Structure 1
Amino acid sequence: MDYREAGVDVEAGRAFVQRIQSLVHGTHRPGVLGSLGGFSGMFEVPSGYQEPVLVSGTDGVGTKLKLAQGLNLHNTVGIDLVAMCVNDVLTSGAEPLFFLDYLATGKLNEDQLAAVVEGVSLGCKQAGCALLGGETAEMPGFYQPGEYDLAGFCVGIVEKRQIVDGSQVQVGDVAIALPSSGIHSNGYSLIRKILDTTNTGLNECPALLQGETLGDVLLKPTQIYVEPVLATLRSGILVHGMAHITGGGLPENLPRCLSEGQSIQVNLQSWTVPPIFEWLQEMGAIARSEMFNTFNMGVGFVMLVPPAEAASALACLQKEGIDAWTLGEVIPGNSDVVFSE
């Protein structure tokens, strides 16, 4: 016997690493040391910081991968992977420096996994961070044919005195919402349940989606907010708190950027919820509260700023191509979200 007979093709693994080298190198930025293929990745801490603090985050894509694998479309889920990590790190005011991924599959399919890494590299370019390396694991018998899983983590940097941790938030601060690009990467177990229960295919085009297929809408990659948010911070606008709206929606994630004795009042009339959420609620007969506790409902990221800075923050984000809006304000409370019509 040999390893190939057991289901692991070492030579194919080496060939795959060679194939993706150009994708990895295309993300490199100043600070990267060494090259792909070593036992570890190296990154030099940028100069100019007086008290540099490293900020890390890790995440995966979840069962959104099942939809991508079902449609045989693999070049966007890598963007989701990067986005879920860099957006978390961003909430501290940190600039993402580098990213590493972990890709596991039952049998190495070069074309399929190269498309995945293509998405990872594109996400890194959007976030301005280097794809420093990663791991590809071939695990026969653990995954079904055509299946794979993704995980990753990133490291960012911020000056200690400029850390955004919610301790600066004050009652009266304005909550500014940055729109999501769609579902992002949360709630897909419920989505798949709805699709299975209603026997709905991903190639169908519900009238609410105005010509787009469900597959098109559900596989839209997670928005990466690094460039517009860092531009806002670097413009000198005071930002007291930030939240990435992921699993748990607004009710779970907004309180994570508050200080004790504070809540956020959200004006439900301040935005139009994207049609895909309306379709999911109708098809799944989902309670409104459950929708807000599961999905982002069109709000992907939130920044809390003093009232005097709100107009400037909105103008800066607009300049960066983000159609942000005033979502609500910080009020006295018990670390919850109060919805108002």
Structure 2
Amino acid sequence: MPDTPKPKSVTYADAGVDISSGDRAKERIKFLAQKTFNRNVLGGIGGFGALFRLDLQKFKNPILVSSADGVGTKLKIAFQLGMHQTVGLDLVNHCVNDIAVQGATPLFFLDYLASGKLDPQVTEDVVSGLAEGCKANGCALIGGETAQMPGFYTDGEYDLAGFIVGAVDRDKMINGQGIKPGDVLIGFPSTGLHTNGYSLARKLFFEVAGYKPTQYVTPIKDKAGAALMKTHKSYLHVIQKLVAAGLTTGMAHITGGGITENLPRILPKGTAAQIELGSWPVLPIFEHLRELGEVSQDEMMRTFNMGVGLIAAIPAAKFTRAKNLLDKAEEKFHIIGRIVKGEHRRVQYT
């Protein structure tokens, strides 16, 4: 009777997961992450959990503030252009803004990067953006997860998400409860879409208009892909200036949902926001998107930031001080409306 052939030894690589390649990428990640460390980071990258010491000299009565988010379908443009260096920066800045508007100082950041097959160069590009963002915002990239999931993601694509933790002293929290009728609303310019509204923008640019990502688009004076990939701006430093000077009663990061849905999140009962359309320059990309799809004003205002990435409420009596501070810091801003009495916490456009 013939010998039965011995079955071939199957490895994890045969299933599509290259552990060796992953290990090499992780070594590079460690190097990039360690450049963001400060004296409060305990241990290095590679433990089962990241360790961070809360500085109780700096925070006497600390409240931890956290946020988690992703880059969304902006990643689709990154895949098309092979441009991966800025999406990590987008993610960090988005998460930083979310906690900074509550007065929090960013402490540390963790990321989740998942793909079907790990590409070490793409991974390094993404993580370099994360590290750049963390360093610029003064927080440490102390850990995360890099997952290979063959068969789950299309070749050449990945998903990216992040989690941030910050701290603020209880008596310095900014939660909007101090907002009152008469407060002045000032808007700070965005750089573009930031990380929201990309499903509609991609449809209008690439399906309706038929643009190629590398095509120059005259109405926006830029290439289609480059305009859509403009980095999500961090407002941390201007927020810190306003908070330190005690000049703001509430701030809203204008993300998905636009001004229409984000500003009401900080309004106390009995107030509404009155926003004056035309009081700030709308970026050309938004005007062009509206024209391409004949999109209604209401739809534009609740899908895109429309050129305003951050709104701060300033008591009328403190406005001159706030203006002087911002002018001295060379921070651009526009007076875009006021807080008024209202039974429903909503935005009214005039």
Shorter-chain TM-score above 0.5: yes
Are 1:313 and 2:325 an aligned pair? Answer: no
8 Å Cα contact 2:215-2:224 kept in structure 1: yes
8 Å Cα contact 2:208-2:292 kept in structure 1: no
Structure 2 counterpart of 1:335, from 333, 338, 345? 345
In structure 1, stretches of 5+ residues that fail to align are none
Q: Which residue of 2 aligns with 1:274?
A: 283
Q: Which residue of 1 aligns with 2:7?
A: none
User: In 2, distance between residues paired with 1:65 and 1:261?
Assistant: 40
Is 21-30 or 268-277 further displaced after alignment?
A: 21-30
8 Å Cα contact 1:242-1:257 kept in structure 2: yes
User: In 1, distance between residues paired with 2:17 and 2:270?
Assistant: 55
User: In 1, distance between residues paired with 2:90 and 2:318?
Assistant: 31
Aligned ranges for residues 217-228 of structure 1 at < 5 Å? 217-228=227-238
Structure 1 residue 315: Cα displacement: 3.0
The letter for the 2-side match of 1:244 is: H
2:14 aligned counterpart, secondary structure: coil
Higher Cα radius of gyration: 2
Structure 1 residue 266: Cα displacement: 0.9
Structure 1 residue 287: Cα displacement: 1.1
Q: Which residue of 1 aligns with 2:269?
A: 260
Q: Which residue of 1 aligns with 2:48?
A: 39
1:233 aligned counterpart, secondary structure: helix
User: In 1, distance between residues paired with 2:117 and 2:35?
Assistant: 26
Structure 1 counterpart of 2:122, from 108, 112, 115? 112
Is 305-314 or 56-65 further displaced after alignment?
A: 305-314
Is 192-201 or 290-299 further displaced after alignment?
A: 192-201
Structure 1 residue 312: Cα displacement: 2.2
Structure 1 residue 231: Cα displacement: 2.1
Q: Which residue of 1 aligns with 2:5?
A: none
Q: Which residue of 1 aligns with 2:142?
A: 132
Q: Which residue of 2 aligns with 1:205?
A: 216
Pair 1:320–1:102, CA change in 2 (3 A): farther
Structure 2 counterpart of 1:20, from 20, 29, 47? 29
1:45 aligned counterpart, secondary structure: coil
Is 136-145 or 212-221 further displaced after alignment?
A: 212-221
User: Which 4+ residue blocks in structure 1 deviate beyond 6 angstroms?
Assistant: none
Are 1:74 and 2:81 an aligned pair? Answer: no
Structure 1 residue 20: Cα displacement: 2.0
Structure 1 residue 310: Cα displacement: 1.7
Is 245-254 or 117-126 further displaced after alignment?
A: 117-126
Pair 1:174–1:186, CA change in 2 (3 A): same
2:109 aligned counterpart, secondary structure: strand
8 Å Cα contact 1:90-1:226 kept in structure 2: yes
Are 1:175 and 2:196 an aligned pair? Answer: no
User: In 2, distance between residues paired with 1:315 and 1:4?
Assistant: 61
User: In 1, distance between residues paired with 2:325 and 2:156?
Assistant: 44
Pair 1:321–1:42, CA change in 2 (3 A): farther
Structure 1 residue 218: Cα displacement: 0.4
The letter for the 2-side match of 1:69 is: F
User: In 2, distance between residues paired with 1:176 and 1:64?
Assistant: 27
1:317 aligned counterpart, secondary structure: helix
Structure 1 counterpart of 2:300, from 269, 282, 291? 291
Structure 1 residue 99: Cα displacement: 0.3
User: In 2, distance between residues paired with 1:156 and 1:163?
Assistant: 12
User: In 1, distance between residues paired with 2:170 and 2:271?
Assistant: 24
Q: Which residue of 2 aligns with 1:163?
A: 173
8 Å Cα contact 2:211-2:224 kept in structure 1: no
User: In 1, distance between residues paired with 2:12 and 2:160?
Assistant: 24
Q: Which residue of 1 aligns with 2:253?
A: 244
Is 293-302 or 322-331 further displaced after alignment?
A: 322-331
1:155 aligned counterpart, secondary structure: strand
Structure 1 residue 316: Cα displacement: 2.5
Are 1:58 and 2:68 an aligned pair? Answer: yes
Structure 1 residue 166: Cα displacement: 1.0
Are 1:123 and 2:123 an aligned pair? Answer: no
Structure 1 residue 17: Cα displacement: 0.9
Is 328-337 or 42-51 further displaced after alignment?
A: 42-51
User: In 1, distance between residues paired with 2:32 and 2:310?
Assistant: 28
The letter for the 1-side match of 2:297 is: R
8 Å Cα contact 1:63-1:188 kept in structure 2: yes
Structure 1 residue 19: Cα displacement: 1.2
User: In 1, distance between residues paired with 2:12 and 2:233?
Assistant: 41
Q: Considering only aligned residues, what root-mean-square deviation do their CA atoms show, in Å?
A: 1.2
Q: Which residue of 1 aligns with 2:19?
A: 10
